[in-house]
Amino acid sequence: MNESSQKPYISVIVPLYDEEGNVRELHQKIVEACRGLGKTLEIIFIDDGSTDKTNEICRALSPLKLITFRKNFGQTAAFDAGIKNSSGEIIITMDGDLQNDPADIKLLLDKLSEGYDVVAGWRKNRQDSFMKNLASRAANIARKFLINDGIHDSGCSLKAFKRECFDDLDLYGEMHRFIPALLKVQGFKVAEVPVSHHSRKSGVTKYNWKRGVKGIVDMISVWFWKKYANRPLHLFGAGGLGIFFLGILSGAALVTARVFYAVPMSNKIWPLIAVFLVLMGIQLFIFGLLADIAVKNYYKTQGKMNYKIREIIEN
């Protein structure tokens, strides 16, 4: 690793949220992994509103650029802030929980040197809970059906990008996992390589059902932009999806009752309610798409970010 006074060639960007038990070892492993590459390096940690000692520990690490958010804005916002405040020709993104292995950075760079613009990691042997693996597989099947970006594991944060990938790419919501799909639409060459995946040593996973719902909404939005142009607001999109599926389930229950149990429906209001729910769900989702277009245009024209940075320090 060359002297830090030179312009960095590689920027390693890592969002952190309550990772006090992992951050020291993570920093050490990144430095060790990049030491033999013969490239200048900058490490950027983004403290996404941590409530433990993550920020305090980061302040003692060097070399490091530490970006501190005023509150928790989410992983996509953290990646966006890190990318916008980086200088490297090559951008590496990864999680801060030590489940990604910094030693795999070389694998990504080797693949990138073959002429690709983006290289995504593929956790072929995931070390997660059964439910998390199940949810991930379901999401990947849905993503393959809707987007078909050729990536096996969009949820893997370990990725490598050439800097020009982000010249005209704005990130919102939970869109960080769909960056390769968005870039592929723009004509960038995307590849993937199998990478290691370790069990979490310390802390707890930040993945929950709310992030899952937002991910589904963003997935459908990527499909929309890929097919017609360029993400719906989560509030309307998630609400629309919920009402839509409630209507579908209600309709299925009514059909079952009528066909298998001969329940009369001619004088019932329930079929109308089911149809109403389906239509309302579709309308809410379309409204979310329109609102999203307005919000994206607002941020772009005003030059504003959807997160607030408290401070940036460099060690």
For residue 228, give every residue at least 6 positions away whose Cβ sits within 8 Å of its Cβ, in sequence order, or none.
none
Q: Where are the domains of the chain?
A: 10-204+308-314
Radius of gyration of the chain (CA): 22
Q: How far is it, in rounded angstroms, from Cα 142 to Cα 215?
A: 11
**Mean pLDDT across the chain, nearest whole number?**
82
Reported as a single tens digit per residue, the pLDDT across 120-173 is 999 887 765 556 556 666 666 666 666 667 788 878 899 999 999 999 887 776
Q: What is the 3-state secondary structure (H, E, C) of 162-179?
A: EHHHHCCCCCCCCHHHHH
pLDDT in tens, 20-40: 999 999 999 999 999 989 899
pLDDT in tens, 82-121: 999 999 999 999 999 999 999 999 999 999 999 999 999 9
Nearest to 193, CA basis, from 98, 86, 137, 114? 114
Amino acid 58: pLDDT? 98
Cα–Cα distance, 295 to 289 (Å, whole number): 10
| Cβ-based neighbours of 261, under 8 Å, separated by 6 or more | none
Alpha carbons 157 and 82: distance in angstroms, whole number:
14
Contacts of 153 (CB under 8 A, 6+ apart): 120, 121, 122, 123, 136, 140, 192
Task: Return the CATH fold of 10-204+308-314.
Answer: Spore Coat Polysaccharide Biosynthesis Protein SpsA; Chain A (3.90.550)
Does residue 188 contact residue 140 with C-beta atoms inside 8 Å?
no
∠ CA(136), CA(141), CA(143), 5° rounding?
90
Does the pTM surpass 0.85? The reply is no
d(CA 140, CA 72): 26
Q: What percent of the chain has pLDDT over 90?
A: 44
Contact 58, 45 (CB under 8 A): yes
**pLDDT exceeding 70 applies to what percent of the chain?**
74
Does position 226 have pLDDT exceeding 60, yes or no? no
CA distance 49 to 61: 18
HEC secondary structure over 71-124: CCCCHHHHHHHHHHCCCCCEEEECCCCCCCCHHHHHHHHHHHCCCCCEEEEECC
Fill in the amino acid letter for 39.
Answer: K
CA pair distance 250, 263, nearest whole angstrom: 14
| 71/83 Cα distance (integer angstroms) | 19
Token output for 305: 């970010």
* Dihedral sign (CA 153, 155, 157, 161): positive
